[in-house]
Chain A
Amino acid sequence: MWKRLLFCGWMLVLVAPAWAQDAIERDPGYVNLDEIEGWFSKEPKIVVNVKGALLNLVAEASRYEDPELADLLRKLKSIQVRGFDLRWSDFEDVQRRATALSRRLESRGWDTVVRVRDEEEYVDIHVRVEGGTIAGMVVMVVSPDEDETVFVNIVGQIDPEQIGRLGRKFDIEPLNDMTLKRDF
């Protein structure tokens, strides 16, 4: 009996970290941004992967300087960012792939809340609503301007009005001045 209990306990200790790792990937608000790296010939210039204890650390660091931001971060589970340099010659191809990703997200129950298409810029913002609150957000900004092609996935309870604050904290230029109203 004790041997069995000990065995079960030991298995739990071994399996728990792997399970915790998977937990965020099974979250409805999570999108794996690694596939996007394959769209570009060069490695991303900006990579941010902040989750779990590291996210708590960032929230803690903001506790007194910016308590509102700290509260915002505490409600999040993960922040992923990929930023690339984009050549004009690749603009059309990346737009096409981003459109395919947008369609895939919509077919999985994500809502499109912002869509901008012009000659120099492609912007899509999707949110995933679960039980009346936002559980995830995907921001795609594709532009051949410098530092302007950025993909962001935020998992957790996001206040869309605070999205610019996150942009300033993590130095994501296209998000800096972004404000979304809550009533979508």
Chain B
Amino acid sequence: MRYRMLLVVFVLLCTTLPLAGCFYSREIAHTRRDLERHYPDADFDQKVVVSLGPASLHTLGWLAGLAPEEEAQMAHDYLSEIDRVKVGVYEVRRLPDLDDFDPPSLFRFERDGWEVAVKAQEDEEIIWVLYREQYDEVRDIYAIVLNDDELVLARVQGHLNRLLERVMDDHYELRNFVADLDLK
């Protein structure tokens, strides 16, 4: 019994120590501060900021890999293609004029070589999707969504082309499998 307790503590330490400090993203917080500095009319209040780094993602992938279910194995495979996920959700206290809101012009994005993939502006919402590629693969996607209520900043790093290929292949296999079941 004592050994089992020790084992549980050891496993918890092994899994949580590498994750310490992983969950808060300084980069997302910096981007929010840059936006407030660049647009003095803007004021955002933090709701949630989450960052999952390689250690946490690999641990999650490893845990998923232990489960016998096919979906868990898929999750394990998908997580192996993702290096980092960062998300920040902020409440909007004060909003700048959306016509002037242009995050890609921030020094941070220009310096780091982000390219605009999509900008879409509706009456009360603006969406920016930026990306970076390396060796003919999309390795980084940054999405910025701003409306009257919320500012959402989200960044996903990884082998995103490979990830999508895997998802599509599995989706296709699963669909065929279900279609076979229906026929039988």
Report which A residues bind B (CB closer than 8 A). 42-50, 52-54, 56-57, 60-61, 63-64, 171
State whether B133 touches A54 (Cβ < 8 A).
yes
Question: What distance in Å separates the Cβ of A62 from its nearest Cβ neighbour in chain B?
Answer: 9
Q: How far, in angstroms, from A60 to B159 measured CA to CA in the complex?
A: 14
State whether B164 touches A60 (Cβ < 8 A).
yes
Given contacts A42-B99, A43-B99, A64-B168, contact A56 B116 (CB under 8 A): no
CB-CB contacts of B161-184 with A at 8 A, as 1s and 0s? Answer: 100110010011001000000000
State whether A64 touches B117 (Cβ < 8 A).
no
- Which residues of the other chain, B, contact A44 by a CB distance below 8 angstroms? 119
Given contacts A60-B164, A64-B168, contact A53 B116 (CB under 8 A): no
State whether A63 touches B168 (Cβ < 8 A).
yes
Smallest Cβ-Cβ distance to A82: which chain B residue: B119
Report which B residues bind A (CB closer than 8 A). 99-100, 102, 115-121, 131, 133, 136-138, 160-161, 164-165, 168, 171-172, 175
Can you add 9 more A-B contacts, CB < 8 Å, to A49-B118, A53-B138? A43-B102, A44-B119, A50-B118, A53-B136, A53-B161, A57-B160, A60-B164, A61-B164, A171-B120
State whether B171 touches A60 (Cβ < 8 A).
no
Q: How far, in angstroms, from A64 to B175 measured CA to CA in the complex?
A: 10
Given contacts A46-B120, A50-B117, contact A56 B161 (CB under 8 A): yes
Set A46, A49, A56: member contacting B117, Cβ < 8 A? A49
Set A42, A49, A54: member contacting B138, Cβ < 8 A? A54
- Which residues of the other chain, B, contact A54 by a CB distance below 8 angstroms? 117, 131, 133, 138
State whether A60 touches B165 (Cβ < 8 A).
yes
Question: What distance in Å separates the Cβ of B126 from its nearest Cβ neighbour in chain A?
Answer: 9
- Which residues of the other chain, A, contact B119 by a CB distance below 8 angstroms? 44-47
- Which residues of the other chain, A, contact B136 by a CB distance below 8 angstroms? 52-53, 56
Q: How far, in angstroms, from A60 to B168 measured CA to CA in the complex?
A: 8
State whether A52 touches B172 (Cβ < 8 A).
no
Q: How far, in angstroms, from A52 to B133 measured CA to CA in the complex?
A: 9
Given contacts A43-B102, A60-B168, contact A49 B115 (CB under 8 A): yes
Q: How far, in angstroms, from A139 to B163 measured CA to CA in the complex?
A: 33
Smallest Cβ-Cβ distance to B128: which chain A residue: A47
State whether A47 touches B116 (Cβ < 8 A).
yes
- Which residues of the other chain, B, contact A43 by a CB distance below 8 angstroms? 99-100, 102
Q: How far, in angstroms, from A45 to B123 measured CA to CA in the complex?
A: 10
Question: What distance in Å separates the Cβ of A169 from its nearest Cβ neighbour in chain B?
Answer: 12
Q: How far, in angstroms, from A53 to B133 measured CA to CA in the complex?
A: 7
State whether B120 touches A45 (Cβ < 8 A).
yes
- Which residues of the other chain, B, contact A48 by a CB distance below 8 angstroms? 117-118
Q: How far, in angstroms, from A43 to B121 measured CA to CA in the complex?
A: 10
Question: What distance in Å separates the Cβ of A69 from its nearest Cβ neighbour in chain B?
Answer: 14
- Which residues of the other chain, B, contact A56 by a CB distance below 8 angstroms? 136, 161
Given contacts A49-B115, A50-B117, contact A57 B138 (CB under 8 A): yes
- Which residues of the other chain, A, contact B116 by a CB distance below 8 angstroms? 47, 49
Q: How far, in angstroms, from A60 to B175 measured CA to CA in the complex?
A: 17
Given contacts A57-B161, A61-B164, contact A47 B118 (CB under 8 A): yes
- Which residues of the other chain, A, contact B102 by a CB distance below 8 angstroms? 43
Question: What distance in Å separates the Cβ of B116 from its nearest Cβ neighbour in chain A?
Answer: 6
Jot down 21 A-B pairs with beta carbons below 8 A, ordered by A.
A43-B100, A44-B119, A45-B119, A45-B120, A46-B119, A47-B118, A47-B119, A47-B120, A49-B116, A49-B118, A53-B133, A53-B161, A54-B138, A56-B136, A56-B161, A57-B138, A57-B161, A60-B165, A60-B168, A61-B168, A64-B172
